[in-house]
Structure 1
């Protein structure tokens, strides 16, 4: 193995290690004191106090979650009913344009988005147009995102695009989606491709040197 190949493998390994640390999912739990301070920031940004929000509001549910936070990743399951009218689709696109960067900055991302195709059991699903599952790195990241001032504009578009939405938090017991594995496999292929390119370049240089000799 040549020095150039070792350097290349080291760079790929460093890239994967950086991704592993950034992607997180097993951080320090929020203390209740820190969580309450973040809730105050959310109140200041959105101009609504916790006690003035209705039952079932995000602020009230976040307050309930604080004492049980474990610092780990979780998945939010969104059950969405679209608003009527021609402007709803445009508002949805503008909401996504604002929220997606906020998610990616904090190691979050959509995992699954699906349109309802029919009913198998029950009646509640008749009210649901779409199901979306979103990965969050931690409760701290979720609250930090909500406290971002860009969410003010984002929420106005969300309200315009959805007639109703229900969101609940889950932690998977079985999942076949392993983002670290996917990224690791991609970087492994990149490493192999890089080694191949380096090997060919070195061989070409060796042949060129032999020809000049």
Structure 2
């Protein structure tokens, strides 16, 4: 294999290595002291004190998660009741425009988004309009995102777009969301296609003998 092909494969290998490091999902646990410092910054930024928040608030729940953090990825399941009216739809679009870049910067991304189509069992689902599942790289990344100044405006839009929301954290037992595997397969196909194209170009130029 000639130099051009080696460069092509090495470039794709570096891209995949960079993705693997950036996507993470198995980092160091956040210490309780570090987490409390980050939550203090959240309080300062959003103008709310932990002691003044009601039971079930995000800051209280995040504080309770700190001692048990393992540094690994997790999925947030959002059960949302949407607010009505065009203003709510506009606020929803503005919230998405703010939060999506913040998520991607930290290796997070939506996994699943679906509107309720009906009920199969129970009654609680009558109050749920939409289910959204979001992957977070770590608890540290989640708190860091909330502590971003852009989330002040983002939270205002989220509040305007939803009448109510419940969010709980899960860790997958079985999952078919294999981002690194899918990207690896895509890059493998791209590598094969690229080698074929390089070979064809070189044969046309007479750089290598035709086989």
Pick the TM interval, shorter chain.
over 0.9
> How far apart in 1 are the matches of 2:97 and 2:55?
29
Report the Cα offset of residue 197 of structure 1.
1.3
Alignment deviations for residues 86-145 of structure 1 (CA, whole Å, 9 cap, x no partner): 211111000000000000000000000000000000000000000000000000000000
Instruction: Check conservation: 2:202, 2:208, Cα contact below 8 A.
Output: no
Displacement of 1:67 in angstroms is: 0.2
Any unmatched runs of 5+ in structure 2?
none
Aligned to 2:82: 82
Is 2:88 the counterpart of 1:110?
no
Give the count of matched residue pairs.
209
**RMSD of Structure 2 on Structure 1 (CA):** 1.3
d(CA) in 1 for partners of 2:80 and 2:42?
23
- State the Cα deviation string for residues 169-210 of structure 1 (Å, max 9, x = none): 00010111100111101111111121111111110110899x
Matched, 1:201 2:201: yes
Q: Hey, what does 2:92 align to over in structure 1?
A: 92
| Counterpart position of 2:153 | 153
CA contact (8 A) 2:81 2:165 kept: yes
CA distance in structure 2 between the partners assigned to 1:22 and 1:55 by the alignment: 35
TM-score normalized with structure 2 length: 0.97
Matches within 5 A, 1:22-41: 22-41=22-41
What stretches of structure 1 move > 2 A for 4+ residues in a row?
none
User: Structure 1: any 5+ residue segments left out of the alignment?
Assistant: none
Give the TM-score normalised by the residue count of structure 1. Answer: 0.96
Q: 1:179 corresponds to which residue?
A: 179
CA distance in 2, matches of 1:159, 1:178: 32
Matching residue of 1:13: 13
User: How big is each residue's C-alpha offset from its partner over 1:32-83, in whole Å with a ceiling of 9 and x where there is no partner?
Assistant: 0000000111011101011011110000000000000000000000000001
- Give the 3-state SS of the residue equivalent to 1:107 in structure 2: coil
